[in-house]
């Protein structure tokens, strides 16, 4: 039965046209082979995804698994820490002692580490056995990491619901967080400059155009969100908005607690909100990807993994043409749906 699934899944993948892939790789210097489009919606992923697609789609799910899913830079790390703290009865000591990357294997991260880049990182860290061991850990296939981890497991993914195991929601819990795509693209632009597995070297406007034309990782953005939105009434799905986390974190904490069948006092909630405040979060080594910096996967001198943590910062990056373009793009993609960002509820989008 599994092989049948695998075959069907493989048939839904096609390579991005060689000339287009070559053009994109001039800008995304961490990719050296090309890209694929996956499934009927054409999700855009690195070529290496071909190796892991079936393993991810068919991975065994456990009833006490908790997935935190999102399009990248939608408040994922913030949501991960919130969910983990609630699920683990506010264990601050353990949270501080174990990096978030260890608490949450990143399901598809290995797909983004091209063999050329892996070899480069290996050479750069060859003077330290400890670093080489760390490198093997962070680049190991997520499904292999997760198979060894005792329950309960916490999983981070940016894959859309349709590329995750089909029985996921009927088996375990998923917390999905969405964010205004204009803020997403600004934050993702900075991460793509920061992280060498992406290695973006173009300007912001070029990056924006790749994003809205679905020529960037994990796009199409709105299809990604709409797939999760359509599942929002499932008892095992909690759909959050980044803007609501920013505006009223205590209410979001209560929603997560209810979803995970936990109860806390107002004092405990206030303490957790302080722990999650953006200033504390930016200085929290457990969540700031220090391992990636130590291994040289993050470029020295670029902004940290946790940036400003505010909503609406996109206005500092968009010119008038891009603002109008964004309005049209959002309107077109939300036409005929009941999805609305809460901070834009009074508008068409």
| Active-site amino acid positions | 158
Nearest-CA neighbor of 337 among 242, 251, 225, 195? 225
CB-count exposure of residue 347 (10 Å: 0-12, 13-18, 19+): exposed
d(C-alpha 241, C-alpha 75), whole Å: 9
d(CA 234, CA 6): 26
Residues 141, 17: Cα–Cα separation, whole Å:
26
Residues 105 and 148: beta-carbon distance below 8 Å:
no
Residue 214 has a CB neighbour count (10 Å cut-off) of 17
- For the purposes of burial, counting CB atoms within 10 Å of the CB of 307, is it exposed (0-12), middle (13-18) or buried (19 or more)? middle
């Amino acid at each position: 039965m599994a092989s049948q699934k695998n075959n069907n899944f493989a048939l839904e993948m096609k390579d991005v046209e060689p000339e287009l892939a070559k053009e994109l790789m001039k800008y995304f210097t961490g990719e050296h082979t090309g890209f694929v489009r996956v499934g009927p919606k054409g999700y855009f992923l690195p070529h290496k995804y071909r190796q892991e697609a079936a393993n991810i789609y068919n991975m065994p799910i456990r009833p006490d698994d908790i997935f935190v899913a999102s399009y990248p830079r939608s408040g994922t790390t913030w949501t991960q820490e919130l969910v983990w703290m609630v699920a683990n009865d506010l264990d601050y000591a353990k949270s501080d002692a174990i990096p978030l990357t260890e608490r949450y294997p990143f399901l598809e991260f290995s797909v983004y580490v091209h063999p050329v880049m892996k070899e480069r990182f290996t050479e750069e860290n060859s003077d330290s056995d400890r670093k080489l061991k760390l490198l093997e850990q962070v680049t190991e296939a997520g499904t292999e990491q997760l198979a060894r981890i005792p329950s309960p497991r916490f999983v981070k993914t940016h894959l859309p619901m349709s590329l995750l195991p089909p029985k996921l929601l009927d088996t375990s819990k998923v917390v999905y967080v969405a964010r205004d795509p204009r803020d997403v693209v600004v934050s993702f632009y900075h991460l793509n400059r920061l992280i060498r597995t992406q290695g973006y070297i173009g300007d912001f406007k070029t990056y924006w155009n790749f994003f809205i034309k679905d020529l960037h990782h994990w796009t199409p953005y709105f299809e990604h969100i709409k797939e999760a939105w359509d599942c929002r009434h499932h008892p095992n799905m909690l759909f959050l908005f980044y803007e609501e986390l920013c505006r009223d974190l205590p209410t979001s904490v209560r929603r997560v607690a209810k979803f995970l069948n936990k109860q806390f006092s107002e004092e405990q909630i206030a303490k957790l909100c302080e722990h999650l405040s953006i200033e504390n979060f930016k200085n929290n080594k457990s969540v700031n990807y220090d391992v990636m910096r130590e291994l040289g996967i993050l470029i020295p001198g670029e902004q940290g993994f946790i940036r400003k943590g505010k909503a609406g910062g996109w206005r500092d990056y968009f010119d008038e043409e891009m603002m109008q373009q964004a309005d049209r793009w959002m309107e077109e993609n939300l036409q005929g749906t009941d999805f609305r960002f809460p901070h834009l509820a009074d508008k068409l989008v």
